[in-house]
Structure 1
Amino acid sequence: MSPAVFVKRYADPARAVAAQAHLRWLQQLGSDVRLPHLHPGTATHLIFEHLDGTPPQPRDLPRLAAVLGRLHGTAYARELHAAHLDRPFHGQAGPILPAFHTGRHTVLAQVGVDPTGLPAAFYKDANLRNFIITATGPAVVDFDDLTLAPFGYDLAKLIVSAAMTYGTLDSHQAEVVVAAYTHHVETTGGPTNACTFTQLTRYAEMHHLLTARYLHRNGYRHPWPAVRPWPAPAGPLSLKEPPP
C-alpha cells in the first residue's frame, strides 16, 4: 500500500522550489522537531508525507511554543549566530534568508520597532494552522515563507493567530507560552532571555497590522484589539532599550 500523502500545488514553480529548500534547511538543523517527509514531486507540485492529527487548541500553545523555541535555538546555534537582521543571510547548506526589514519597513515604522542589532532567529509563519497535533506531539507544516526575524517574532504570530481564532487568552497562559519558548531557545543553544515581554508585545502589534485584513476569513473571528492578553502598548519604544 502506498503511503498517504498531501499534495500542495503551486502556480509559480519558483514558489515550489523555495518551499522545498525551506523544508530541507529546517530538516538539516537536527532540532528533533517533527517535520513531514518530502516525496519526489514536480515543478509545481510538492508531495508531503500525510500527518495524521488534529488542529491545535489553546491548551496546546505551550507545546507549540516549545517546538518553535527548539527550532529557533537550534538554528541560532548552527548558523544564525552569524546573521544580521538587516541583511540577507546565506548559510552553508540552505536558501538565502531575506533580511527581516525586507517588505516590513512600513509596519516597523508604524509600531516603532527597530530590531537592528538583535540576535537573529527566523520567521516561517507560526500561524496556529501551520501546526498539527499528532499522536507523538506537535508537527510543523507549511514552508512557503522563511525570512530572518528577531527571537519572539514568530511566537507573536502564534499568539495573535490563536487569539484571533479562539478569543482572549488568559494572561497567565500567555506568560507560560513565553516561558516555554525562551526556555527551549536557551536549552538548544540560543541566547538567554531571547525575547522580552516588551519585544513580544511590539511584534504582536506588527502581526495585527499585517493580519487585520484577514478578519472574518481563514478562521480569524476576533479582532486583535479586543482579545489582547495584555494592555495595549503606548508609543514607540526601541527594542534595544529596557522598558522604562
Structure 2
Amino acid sequence: MTVFVKRYPDESNCAAARANHTWLESLNSGVRIPRLLAAHSRHLVFEHIDGTPPDFVDLPSIAAVLGKLHSAATPALAQARLDQEFNTAGGHVIADFVSVRPTIAAIPEAATVAATACVSIYKDANLRNFLITNVEVAIVDFDDLTLAPYGYDLAKLLTSMAMTFGQLDRSIATDALDHYNGALGGTKCALDDLAVWAEINWMLTADYLGRNGYRHPWPTVRPWPAPFASDRSQP
C-alpha cells in the first residue's frame, strides 16, 4: 500500500496534528480527508491520495468544500468565541482567533469585523493543502487549526492562489465566494468581510514572498481596492 508519511520536529506538534485530524474527521462533513493509518511520536502515516495541485479553475470546487467543512463544524462550535480558546466535546482544545493573530487588534477595520463575526475554523487553506482528484477535492495537512470567522479560510485560499499564480480577477473571487456561501447553507460571508480577511492573510504571509511558490505581492494582484485606509495608496 502506498502511504504518505508526515514528519514533525517534535512530539507536541505531531500530537496536535493528530488531534486536529481526529476532530475534523469526527465532524462527518463528507469532505475527503485522508485516513490516518498509524501514529508515532514524531510522524503520522496517512493513506496516499492521488491528485494534482489546484489552479484558479479549481477555486469554485475548493470553495464549496471549505463551505461544506465549515457548515459541518458549526454545531460543534455553537458556544465558541473568537477571543477564547475552545474546548470541544471530545476534549480537544482549539486555539482562539484573536490572540494568535495580534495584528488584528491593531487594525480597526479587522477588529470591528472580528468583534461581531460568527465562529468557524481555520485549517490553513493555502492551495498546497488541497489535492484535486478525478472525482473530488481532498484536504490535506492538519498542522494548524484555530477558531476563525466565516470566510477566513477562503481568504487564505484566494491570497495563496493570487500570490502564486498572479492577478486574481474579481469575478473569479466572487464566484468562489458564491460557492462557499452556497455550501454553508446558513451564515454567509460578505464580500467586504472577505476582503478584510484576505488583507490579514497577506500580512501574515508577506514574509514568505519569494519562498514556497509565493511570487506576487498581494497588493499587486488583489481583485478589489485595499480595505484598510492605510493601504489605499497601494495598487
Specify if TM > 0.5: yes
- Aligned-pair CA distance for 1:11: 1.5
Match of 1:152 in 2: 151
State the shift of 1:42 in Å. Answer: 1.1
Q: How far apart are residue 9 of structure 1 and its match?
A: 0.8
RMSD: 1.3
Query: How far, CA to CA, are the matches of 2:136 and 2:191 in structure 1?
Result: 27
Counterpart of 2:74 in structure 1 is 76
**2:156 equivalent to 1:118:** no
Q: Which residue is equivalent to 1:24?
A: 22
In the alignment, is residue 178 of structure 1 matched against residue 172 of structure 2? no
Partners of 1:147 and 1:117 in 2: how far apart?
17
Deviation at 1:94, TM superposition (A): 5.1
Aligned residues: 228
AA in 2 matched with 1:90: N
Instruction: Give me the identity figure in percent.
Output: 50
Structure 2 matches for 1:47-62, cutoff 5 A? 47-62=45-60
- Residues 21 and 95 of structure 1 are in contact (CA less than 8 Å); yes or no, is this contact kept in structure 2? yes
Deviation (angstroms), 1:119:
1.1
- 1:133, 1:182 → 2: CA distance? 21
- Give TM-score scaled by structure 1 length: 0.90
**Retained in 2: the 8 A contact 1:161–1:220?**
yes
Match of 1:203 in 2: 197
1:123 and 1:147 in contact (8 A); partners too: yes
1:9–1:44 Cα contact (<8 Å) kept:
yes
Structure-2-length-normalised TM-score: 0.93
Q: Please give the residue correspondences for 1:1-244 in structure 2 after superposition, counting only pairs within 5 Å.
A: 3-77=1-75, 79-93=76-90, 95-110=92-107, 112-114=109-111, 115-186=114-185, 190-191=186-187, 194-235=188-229
Tell me which amino acid in the other structure corresponds to 2:43: H
Structure 2 stretches lacking a partner, 5+ long: 231-235
Q: 1:132 to 1:94 in 2, by over 3 A?
A: farther
Shift of 1:228: 0.4
Asked if the contact 1:22–1:94 (Cα under 8 Å) also holds between the matched residues in 2, the reply is no
User: Contact 2:6–2:44 at 8 Å: present in 1 too?
Assistant: yes
1:15-42 deviation per Cα after TM superposition (whole angstroms, max 9, x unaligned):
1011011011111101100000001131
Deviation at 1:185, TM superposition (A): 0.9
Q: Give the residue type in structure 1 aligned to 2:61.
A: R
Displaced runs of 4+ in structure 1, greater than 3 A? none
SS in 2 for 1:92: coil
Secondary structure of 1:125 counterpart: coil
| CA distance in 1 between partners of 2:156 and 2:221 (Å) | 14
1:81–1:119 CA contact under 8 A, matched in 2: no
Q: Distance in 2 between matches of 1:11 and 1:207?
A: 25
Deviates more, 1:143-152 or 1:88-97: 88-97
Letter in 1 for 2:74: Y
Q: Hey, what's the Cα distance between the residues in 2 that align with 1:33 and 1:129?
A: 17
